[in-house]
């Protein structure tokens, strides 16, 4: 993921989900625990009320009034039930609400010990039960064991817990969304200096600005200062190259002019015409090499994009004239809108050397294709139907001065120049076998 804002937002989102999740679990556990404790206290109060209402009979049993203080005990299916069992576990008394409902007997607690259990009725309804075993003193002075038990349905309690959870998730989701929106706005504001640096670098590339401004936060001041030092250093070095080539061009101009003047004295000589053509070519080479550092780099650190398709068309048209005797068929395929980010002369040097090499060695067909995404990686493939290049010689051909055939015109530096230029732009040059049968050169530039 390339966006710093997206990374921060995702990281914050993960942290929010984690901490909010932990908070939700803690609050849900606390709410449920408090609710269960409240349910137990309520059941304990009901049990104490039943104990207070119980009366011993002359026959050695216990009886309770038909109407208890809690009206729910008198309503069938109210969800609140009570019963009294003897020592053998047989029911002695049951509340009216328990008619048609079997309260699970469960285990008998020790005498005087309250026992809370989560149990289920016959129809699967979950209930919370409270049992208490007592030794009841009868009128004759003897003691008889009894078990008092009350139970309450948990359906209403579980519904309250579920409603609380829904509210909890809803509120926390709303809070998380508000926090993320706030953090996104804050990040947009905090990252504005980085966007400013990006925009200013773009202006430097287009020649609209000479250097980065100094209006940045303390953390970015050093970055801007070092970037400006780098820009100044590159401009100074480019200026030195320009001056050196100026001196070179000035030094060569006089000898070339003298050679041309001597040749003009013998205009009718065919040899003079051929030599004059080579002198013109030397002039053109000097002018091209002179333009490379002085054309734009004295003003811009990074050059603008160069449209690829028209440059390829110019090269193909020129090579058709150079190799008119051979008349190779040059097939071109260039993606629409593709551009080369760099100096136009560098692109012509790369494509021109590869096409010239392919035309020189082909039998009849040369193919060049340039693919990629606008603003992304560019891939140039030049292939021919010539004899090809042996695998063991491919690497050595990329060294300056290396040639496969000493009888073929050339200096053996064209492929080395292509490799050096491609690497200067962070790219690569690969040599392989083409489907046409000859050599295939692939240049990939970010």
The residue with greater pLDDT, 177 or 287, is: 177
Q: Which residues lie below 8 Å from residue 342, measured CB to CB, with a gap of 6+?
A: 303, 306, 425
Mean pLDDT of the chain: 81
Residues 313 and 441 in one domain: yes
Name the strand (E) or helix (H) holding 114: strand 114-120
Q: Which residues lie below 8 Å from residue 339, measured CB to CB, with a gap of 6+?
A: 305, 306, 307, 308, 374, 375
327: left (phi over 0), alpha (psi -120 to 50) or beta: left
Number of domains in the chain: 3
Q: Is 5 exposed, middle or buried (0-12, 13-18, 19+ CB in 10 A)?
A: middle
Question: What is the structure's pLDDT at 332?
Answer: 92
Question: What is the structure's pLDDT at 142?
Answer: 84
Residue 70 domain-assigned? yes
Q: Tell whether the model's pLDDT for residue 127 goes beyond 80.
A: yes
Residues 16 and 153 in one domain: yes
Domain boundary among 145, 160, 175: 160
Q: Report the pLDDT averaged over residues 180-207.
A: 83
Residues 262 and 351 in one domain: no
pLDDT digits (tens, 9 = 90+) for 354-381: 998 899 889 989 999 999 876 678 899 9
CA–CA dist 388, 438 (Å, integer): 4
Q: How confident is the model at residue 44 (pLDDT cuts 50, 70, 90)?
A: very high
Contact by Cβ (8 Å): 147, 84: yes
Question: What is the structure's pLDDT at 400?
Answer: 60
Q: How confident is the model at residue 425 (pLDDT cuts 50, 70, 90)?
A: confident
Question: What is the structure's pLDDT at 419?
Answer: 86
Q: Report the pLDDT averaged over residues 14-34.
A: 91
Sign of CA dihedral 102, 108, 111, 117: negative
> What phi and psi values does residue 382 have, to the nearest 5 degrees?
-120, 125
Question: What is the structure's pLDDT at 300?
Answer: 46
Residues 316 and 397 in one domain: yes
Taking the CA atoms of residue 287, residue 292, residue 297 and residue 300 in that order, the dihedral angle to the nearest 10 degrees is 100
Give me Rg for the CA atoms of the chain.
Answer: 47
CA–CA dist 202, 188 (Å, integer): 20
Domain boundary among 239, 269, 294: 294
CA–CA dist 297, 299 (Å, integer): 5
Residue 336 domain-assigned? yes
> Which region among 91-105, 304-318, 404-418 has the lowest average model confidence (pLDDT)?
404-418
65: left (phi over 0), alpha (psi -120 to 50) or beta: beta
> Which region among 2-16, 275-289, 304-318, 326-340 has the lowest average model confidence (pLDDT)?
275-289
| CA distances to 82, 245, 295 from 253, in Å | 119, 12, 20
Residues 234 and 349 in one domain: no
Distance linking the first and last C-alpha atoms of the chain: 18
The residue with greater pLDDT, 17 or 209, is: 17
Residues 140 and 43 in one domain: yes
CA–CA dist 319, 352 (Å, integer): 9
CA–CA dist 126, 153 (Å, integer): 6
Q: What CATH number does residue 97 fall under?
A: 3.30.450
Domain boundary among 262, 294, 326: 294
Residues 12 and 123 in one domain: yes
Q: Which of 332, 4, 398 is nearest to 197 (CA)?
A: 4
Q: How confident is the model at residue 218 (pLDDT cuts 50, 70, 90)?
A: confident
pLDDT digits (tens, 9 = 90+) for 132-150: 999 888 887 788 899 999 9
Residues 288 and 324 in one domain: no
CA–CA dist 307, 344 (Å, integer): 9
Residue 128: half-sphere exposure toward Cβ, Cα within 13 Å: 20
The residue with greater pLDDT, 283 or 87, is: 87
Residue 206 domain-assigned? no
Range of the domain at 275: 218-294
Q: What CATH number does residue 353 fall under?
A: 3.30.565.10
Task: Please give the structure tokens belonging to residue 247.
Answer: 């001196």
The residue with greater pLDDT, 167 or 212, is: 167
Q: Tell whether the model's pLDDT for residue 288 goes beyond 70.
A: no
Question: What is the structure's pLDDT at 289?
Answer: 60
Q: Tell whether the model's pLDDT for residue 179 goes beyond 50.
A: yes
Q: Tell whether the model's pLDDT for residue 215 goes beyond 70.
A: yes
Contact by Cβ (8 Å): 300, 204: yes
Strand pairing report for 62-63 and 126-137: unpaired
Question: What is the structure's pLDDT at 284?
Answer: 62
Q: Tell whether the model's pLDDT for residue 297 goes beyond 50.
A: no
Q: Report the pLDDT averaged over residues 390-417.
A: 64
Residues 311 and 283 in one domain: no
Strand pairing report for 329-334 and 143-153: unpaired
The residue with greater pLDDT, 13 or 374, is: 13
Q: Tell whether the model's pLDDT for residue 197 goes beyond 70.
A: yes
pLDDT digits (tens, 9 = 90+) for 75-116: 888 889 999 988 788 888 889 988 888 888 888 888 888 899
Q: Report the pLDDT averaged over residues 255-275.
A: 66
Residue in the structure block whose two tokens are 């509340």: 95
């Amino acid at each position: 993921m390339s966006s710093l804002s997206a990374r921060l937002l995702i990281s914050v989102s993960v942290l929010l989900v984690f901490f909010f999740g932990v908070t939700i679990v803690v609050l849900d556990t606390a709410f449920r625990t408090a609710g269960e404790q409240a349910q137990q206290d309520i059941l304990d109060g009901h049990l104490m009320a039943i104990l207070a209402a119980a009366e011993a009979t002359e026959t050695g049993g216990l009886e309770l009034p038909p109407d208890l203080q809690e009206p729910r005990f008198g309503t069938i299916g109210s969800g609140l039930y009570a019963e009294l069992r003897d020592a053998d576990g047989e029911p002695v008394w049951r509340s009216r609400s328990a008619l048609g409902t079997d309260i699970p007997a469960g285990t008998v607690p020790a005498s005087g010990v309250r026992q809370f259990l989560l149990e289920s009725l016959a129809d699967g309804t979950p209930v919370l039960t409270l049992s208490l075993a007592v030794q009841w003193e009868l009128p004759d002075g003897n003691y008889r064991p009894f078990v008092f038990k009350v139970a309450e349905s948990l359906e209403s309690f579980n519904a309250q817990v579920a409603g609380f959870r829904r509210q909890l998730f809803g509120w926390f989701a709303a809070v998380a969304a508000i926090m993320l929106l706030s953090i996104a706005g804050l990040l947009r504001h905090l990252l504005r200096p980085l966007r400013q640096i990006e925009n200013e670098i773009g202006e430097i590339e287009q020649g609209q600005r000479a250097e980065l401004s100094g209006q940045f936060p303390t953390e970015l001041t050093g970055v801007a200062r070092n970037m400006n030092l780098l820009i100044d250093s590159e401009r100074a070095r480019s200026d030195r190259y320009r001056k050196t080539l100026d001196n070179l061009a000035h030094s060569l101009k006089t000898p070339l002019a003298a050679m041309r003047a001597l040749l003009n004295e013998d205009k009718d000589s065919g040899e003079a015409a051929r030599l004059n053509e080579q002198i013109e070519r030397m002039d053109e080479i000097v002018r091209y090499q002179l333009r490379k550092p002085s054309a734009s780099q004295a003003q811009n650190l990074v050059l603008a994009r160069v449209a690829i398709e028209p440059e390829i068309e110019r090269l193909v048209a020129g090579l058709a004239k150079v190799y008119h005797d051979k008349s190779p068929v040059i097939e071109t395929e260039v993606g629409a809108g593709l551009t080369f980010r760099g100096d136009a002369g560098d692109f012509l040097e790369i494509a021109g050397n590869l096409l010239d090499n392919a035309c020189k060695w082909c039998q009849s067909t040369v193919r060049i294709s340039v693919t990629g995404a606008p603003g992304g990686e560019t891939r140039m493939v030049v292939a021919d139907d010539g004899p090809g290049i042996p695998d063991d010689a491919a690497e050595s051909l990329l060294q300056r001065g290396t040639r496969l055939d000493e009888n073929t015109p050339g200096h053996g530096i064209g492929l080395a120049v292509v490799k050096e230029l491609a690497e200067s732009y962070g790219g690569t040059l690969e040599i392989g076998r083409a489907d046409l049968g000859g050599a295939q050169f692939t240049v990939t530039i970010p």
